[in-house]
Amino acid sequence: MNVKKLKTRSQFATIYSVLVSLKPYYLYKMKKAFTVIFFLAIASLASAQTTVTKVSKKKITATTKSDVTEVAPGNPAESLKLKETEFDFGKIPQGKPVTHVFEFTNTGNTPFALDNVQASCGCTTPIWNKDTVGVGETAVIKVGYNAANEGPFTKPVTITYNGTQTKQIIIKGEVWKTPVTSAPLNTALNTLKNEQ
């Protein structure tokens, strides 16, 4: 072997030269040993990467849970709790307006006022107080319905609060048609009056 040439060759060329100079039996054993070492190194790296990934996921999960726990009590979407979200008037006579009062409580951490309460049509009229509802306080929304049209009805009313948060309440029922005139004239009644 030429020492001068070994110094100038790259590291891989040097290892190759040594392996070629060995007898075939030792060469076979060396290849096997390097293969085993190579696969152990790859397996070790893969195992280390999996472990890091698992730890990272645990940290993310823990952070997410604590964030949700911290945010949930003050979540404005959950600060308005309705006693009921739907009311059925049942059968009501045509031409007779009806009303129902929906009660809600501020279950959040901060006071709020209702920004708007809007019905889906002109036959439904919501009335609400525009004052601030304190934490733990209860307030009401009065919803009126003009029973002018005959038939079943379902009317949603959208409550907007805390700027962009919304909830929906629903009124429903069935309007039955009332007679156009009052009860028919009873001629027998007049006969009774005349007989007295």
Q: What is the pLDDT of residue 35?
A: 81
Q: What is the pLDDT of residue 9?
A: 54
Q: What is the pLDDT of residue 185?
A: 66
Q: What is the pLDDT along the chain (196 residues), one digit of tens a residue?
A: 555 554 555 665 666 666 666 666 666 777 777 787 877 777 776 665 544 444 444 444 444 433 333 334 444 447 899 999 999 999 999 988 999 999 999 998 999 999 999 998 889 999 999 899 999 999 999 999 998 889 999 999 999 998 888 999 999 999 998 776 666 666 666 666 666 6
Q: For residues 55 and 58, give the distance between their C-alpha atoms in angstroms, rounded to a whole number.
A: 5
Whether the full predicted model's pTM is greater than 0.85, yes or no, is: no
The neighbouring-strand residues paired with 172 are 88, 154
Instruction: Beginning with the edge strand found earlier in the chain, give each strand of the sheet holding 80-82 in spatial order.
Output: 80-82, 98-106, 138-145, 124-128
Name which CATH class applies to 76-176: mainly beta
Q: For residues 151 and 127, give the distance between their C-alpha atoms in angstroms, rounded to a whole number.
A: 25
